[in-house]
Structure 1
Amino acid sequence: MWAKKNPSKFWTPGRTLRIAFLNGTEEFKAATITAANNWLPHINLSFEFVEGKEGDIRILSEEGTFSSNVGTDALLSTDEPTMRLWPHSPIQARYFAANVMHEFGHMLGAEHEQTHPTANIPWNTSALYAEHGLTDNPEKDDYQAKVTRERLHQWYLDRADPDASIYSEYDRKSIMHYEIRQSWTEGDFRIFLNFDLSEKDKAFMAKAYPYPDNK
């Protein structure tokens, strides 16, 4: 797991984060709370879930997207949602929970694991580009292709600068790791969707949010 070093986006340990639901069914809210609370045994933070618009974190139930501001970036705006969660039916509860834990990982300050400073993923960039409708030649990109290429580099290909990062060992089992398809890499390398917090996830966040006697 890793996070940006300068400036750090971690919250102050011991803080209670007020987390507001802007909308959503009772089932959506209950499932979100259950999944998010998986982080609590490993961090010196508390979550207070509330209704309405007043919160450090503001969750919008929205079809088609999972996203979150990273750490204290949530404080930069007081009007917009800071997290968007795509509601799913109970039959997809495990998938929904994994994504909630992933987005709460961002909320706690973590970045995507596939861009970890020491990740050595053997990318087949031509295959990754092709599956997203791109060629190897960026000079042929129209506007939408440029946007897609930038996102692929941001989400997958551009590793973080070690000197500008706080990180533990690269973790293929991290909840913050995207699925990596076999066809996108060279050799025998793929990552399936991770459904649970890994031991390294827990250890990293315990160090980021220590209790007073855990220095």
Structure 2
Amino acid sequence: MSDVIRACVDRVIPTARRMEAQALAEAENPDNLIPPGEPAPLSGAVDTRKLWKVGRVLNVAFVDGIPAVQQKVADIALTWTEFANIGLDFGDNPNAEIRISFAQPGSWSYIGVDALLIEPPNPTMNFGWLTPATNDEEYQRVVLHEFGHALGMIHEHQNPANEIPWNREAVLDYYMGPPNNWAKHQVESNIFQAYARQHTKYTDFDLLSIMRYPIPREHLADPAWGAGHDVEWQNYQLSEVDKQFIAECYPFDE
């Protein structure tokens, strides 16, 4: 695989604020309630503790950026609303639930209602490499992916149903080098660590999901895994499973 992987990094709420985050999540959507005594989680799938209220209209605002780039982001993000009973209202509300920056390094988003814990004007989502010169496929890939996170979706390779035979040393070497330059613990939490089954709504592993990272063959202990699929390459659109799955999370009949 010759293309460099520019990867999204999960934004995780600090341990000291997780109880506060859970209280906000339950106030937003009672279905986010964790039963008493149930263990906290390790961190097409969603974190079932972080979903917005079905039918909610989320305010979205840009804290910086070029108008032409902002418009492309907005146009692509609205794709999710065709399949999920949730709205995205782009405007200039300084207290918007989703606040987007282009000024910080990398591409990232807080997951679902975790965004409520981030005080304005701090961003809850960032697109560090999108410019007017970025090609349309990259816009599609990155914007759909990050807004998937904003709706509560997790990385597909962290789906509890995945059985990816990772070549751990190759993966560590790759992501700890440029352009990502991650620390070892970031590779562990963003690549290898699967979400707990009891806190995750998930389907069978979906190779076509917009939430999947590309997986170079050299990152696999068994290079034949995923035969018949372009696992090395990016996905640029919502898969049919993505569409069906987000519709189940935010159904139109409620």
- Structure 1 length normalisation: TM-score? 0.86
Counterpart in the other structure of 2:184: 149
2:176–2:187 Cα contact (<8 Å) kept: no
Whether 2:106 is the aligned partner of 1:65: answer: yes
Q: Deviations over 1:7-66 (max 9, x none)?
A: x21111111111011111111111101110111110111111012523111111226421
C-alpha deviation, 1:91, in angstroms: 4.8
1:69–1:106 Cα contact (<8 Å) kept: yes
2:83–2:246 Cα contact (<8 Å) kept: yes
Whether 2:215 is the aligned partner of 1:172: answer: no
Note the 1:33-52 alignment, pairs <5 A.
33-51=74-92
Q: Deviations over 1:108-153 (max 9, x none)?
A: 000110111011111111222233459xxxxxxxxxx9x7221111
Whether 2:155 is the aligned partner of 1:112: answer: yes
Counterpart in the other structure of 1:84: 126
SS in structure 2 opposite 1:210? coil
- C-alpha separation between the residues in 2 aligned to 1:126 and 1:35? 36
Which moves more between the two structures, 154-163 or 177-186? 154-163
- C-alpha separation between the residues in 2 aligned to 1:30 and 1:197? 20
- C-alpha separation between the residues in 2 aligned to 1:62 and 1:183? 33
CA RMSD of aligned residues (A): 1.9
SS in structure 1 opposite 2:136? helix
Which moves more between the two structures, 29-38 or 86-95? 86-95
SS in structure 2 opposite 1:49? strand
1:35–1:98 Cα contact (<8 Å) kept: no
Residues matched between the structures, number: 200
SS in structure 1 opposite 2:99? strand
SS in structure 1 opposite 2:61? strand
- Structure 2 length normalisation: TM-score? 0.73
Counterpart in the other structure of 1:163: 198
Counterpart in the other structure of 1:122: 165
Listed as ranges, the gaps of 5+ residues in structure 1 are 135-144
Q: 1:188 aligns with which of 220, 224, 227?
A: 224
- C-alpha separation between the residues in 1 aligned to 2:134 and 2:186? 31
Whether 2:88 is the aligned partner of 1:53: answer: no
Counterpart in the other structure of 2:39: none
